[in-house]
């Protein structure tokens, strides 16, 4: 019984820790990480993530999009073969 209670407590505590440490992507530029107002900024059309005025249309934005798109496929294997 005690083991079950401790296991539940640890799992619950870990979930709270993960929720507190997760980043809110809606209020920062996905390229430079600068805090922005999500209501007043545009989003990148490919990733639907907010981009600040300084990064919009730059090579840094294109590189960040390529890196993010490439990292989305890591760990996936095509099952059609």
Q: How is residue 50 annotated by DSSP?
A: E
21 vs 76 pLDDT, higher one: 76
- Which two structure tokens, joined as six digits, stand for 43? 């989003």
- Nearest alpha-carbon partner for 44 in 55, 15, 34, 35: 55
pLDDT mean over 22-43: 86
Strand ranges, E, within the chain: 42-43, 50-51
pLDDT above 70 (res 76) = no
Encode pLDDT of 51-68 as tens digits.
999 999 999 999 999 988
CB-CB neighbours of 63 under 10 Å? 11
Domain extents in the chain: 23-68
- Residue pLDDT, tens place only, 4-30: 544 444 454 444 444 455 567 788 999
Predicted confidence at residue 26, as pLDDT, reads 83
pTM (2 d.p.): 0.60
Backbone phi, psi, residue 28, to 5°: -145, 150
């Amino acid at each position: 019984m005690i083991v079950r209670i401790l296991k539940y407590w640890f799992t619950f505590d870990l979930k709270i820790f993960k929720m507190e440490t997760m980043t809110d992507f809606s209020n920062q530029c996905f390229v430079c990480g600068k805090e922005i107002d999500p209501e007043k900024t545009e989003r990148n059309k490919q990733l639907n993530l907010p981009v600040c005025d300084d990064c919009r249309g730059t090579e840094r934005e294109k590189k960040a999009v390529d890196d993010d798109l490439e990292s989305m496929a890591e760990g996936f294997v095509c099952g059609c073969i």
